[in-house]
Structure 1
Amino acid sequence: MRPFNQEYLNRILKFVNKYYQDNRTAPTISEVSSGVGMPRSTTHRYLQELNAKGLLDYGRGIQSPPESAKMKTAYISAPLVGSIQCGCPELEQEYVEEYVSLPVSLFGKGEFYILRAKGDSMVDAGIEEDDLVVIERNCNVSKGDIVVALDQDNQNTLKRYDGYDNYQKYHILKYENESKYPNEVIKVKKLQVQGVARHVIKAL
């Protein structure tokens, strides 16, 4: 493998740093590639090297600013990846609409993404149509958490996790709209949780 050019590494790091300070959010790999005048594949390889050196958090895109930018911005970047149904489960097609800058002082540190809520089954939990729900990946799930759940049919939905029925051997996903869905639940034999809802962003 060809050795990494230190000048290119510095150029990319400088670009990402300045982008964070100007926009308070992460640049996409295409924006980095265009900004430093390098092919996208080469940019990806250099971003991986910066990640390996601990100078940049690069995984599913750039996850957080360089250390020098963190002191000034104290923001993390979360992708907005479309909608999730808050009624009947539906198939999710994940795609990044944009990256949203979240202040660490309010949202904490973690691997976050954002979904736009659809439907009315979670209104009693304060989640309404078109609210932006901040989801944390790769975290422990407890009874009572609001989760993005993927069932055995590869359908997902946003519901409150109400635990596991050891007698009948199924997981319980609970609706949060008693006036419209009184005592309604979804029972699934196999459940995969894709994240836990931590915050709701909405207009007043």
Structure 2
Amino acid sequence: MLTRKQHQLLLFIYEQMQQTGISPSYDEMKEALDLASKSGIHRLITALEERGFIRRLPNRARALEVIRLPDSTPAQADEAGRQPQTAAQTTTHSRRPAGKKPSVDMDGAANINVPVMGRIAAGVPISAIQHQTQTLSLPADMIGSGEHYALEVKGDSMIDAGIFDGDTVIIRRTGSAHPGEIIVALVDDEEATLKRYRRAGNIIMLEAENPAYETRRLELGRVKIQGCLAGLLRRY
């Protein structure tokens, strides 16, 4: 039996991972639960881990895995008609996009083919996005509205956002972004990189999520937004 705060934190972590593909930070958890300090979050995380609801992934910053959800939830979840679910670590949940025709796997589940467009730098620069190399067949519920593509991450500059070398990111194709979103940025039409997006006037700031890397500040005309992070896949 979980306490109300443990329920709230578990559902918050799960919903954030469904939306972004990465686990929230301790500061985000503290703010969501209206707690005074991160020590309270640490105790709740430990309790959830001991009860088998989550798992902390070793040697990785901000890396949590939701193993399962409780059979029953607090009153506010019951009022919303929430149904028990099996948790998934790396998928985002949204409506099926218009215009995409899903396939059906042997279990009867709808899948959508997403092109893999090569590698993206999360660290030192590499070449711009390449041509399609293969396709991924992903559950339809993982893909939001719009057009998507996938990229293999190369580098470690986004590790504090839970994105590691060798991960595959799912990108929603768009030419604009909100401040704070993780984007695929094309710099000078020749270098593609995965960074957090900020803007101050005519200056674009591409922020790393690793203190070993400095924020890049570039004139507006040098940067083209190629898409925003929609999900993440990881193989073990």
> Is TM (by shorter chain) over 0.5?
yes
Corresponding residue for residue 155 of structure 2:
119
- Counterpart selection for 1:176 from 182, 196, 209: 209
State the shift of 1:89 in Å: 2.6
TM score, norm. by length of structure 1: 0.59
Gaps of 5+ in 2: 1-98
SS at match of 1:64: coil
Cα distance in 1 between the residues matched to 2:124 and 2:136: 27
Aligned to 2:110: 74
Q: Is the 8 A contact 2:117 2:151 kept in 1?
A: yes
CA deviations over 1:141-167 (Å, ceiling 9, x no partner): 1011110101235321110002x222x
Tell me how far apart the structure 2 counterparts of residues 93 and 173 of structure 1 sit (CA, whole Å).
17
- Report the Cα distance in structure 1 between the residues aligned to 2:216 and 2:203, rounded to whole angstroms: 10
1:116 and 1:171 map into 2 onto residues whose CA distance is: 24
**Offset of residue 73 of structure 1:** 4.1
SS in 2 for 1:130: coil
- Alpha-carbon distance, 1:64 to partner: 2.7
Secondary structure, in 3 states, of the residue corresponding to 1:105?
helix
CA distance in 2, matches of 1:176, 1:96: 27
- Residue 64 of structure 1 aligns with an amino acid whose one-letter code is K
Q: Structure 1 counterpart of 2:217, which letter?
A: K
What is the TM-score when the length of structure 2 is the normalising length? 0.52
Cα distance in structure 1, aligned partners of 2:121 and 2:113 = 23
Q: Hey, what does 2:128 align to over in structure 1?
A: 92
Q: Which residue of structure 2 aligns with residue 12 of structure 1?
A: none
Match of 2:179 among 134, 138, 143: 143
**Secondary structure, aligned partner of 2:126:** coil
C-alpha displacement at 1:102, in angstroms? Answer: 1.4
1:199 equivalent in alignment to 2:231: yes
**Equivalent of 2:191 in 148, 155, 161:** 155
Change (3 A) 1:104 1:141: same
Indicate the structure (1 or 2) with the bigger Cα radius of gyration: 1
Identical aligned pairs, as a percentage? 35
Report the Cα distance in structure 2 between the residues aligned to 1:100 and 1:199, rounded to whole angstroms: 13
Match of 1:186 among 208, 211, 216: 216
- Closer/same/farther in 2, CA of residues 142 and 85 from structure 1, 3 Å limit: same
Which structure 1 residue ranges, 4+ long, deviate > 4 Å from structure 2?
none
Larger RCO of the pair (alpha carbons < 8 Å, separation 6+): 2
Q: Is the contact between residue 78 and residue 101 of structure 1 (CA under 8 Å) also seen in structure 2?
A: yes
Find the residue that maps to 2:127 and give its secondary structure: coil
SS in structure 1 of the partner of residue 164 of structure 2: coil
> For 1:107-147, what per-residue CA distance to the aligned partner results, in whole angstroms no more than 9, with x for missing partners?
33431110000011000011111100000102641011110
Whole-Å separation in 2 of the counterparts to 1:136 and 1:99 = 15
In structure 2, what is the Cα distance between the partners aligned to 1:161 and 1:142?
7
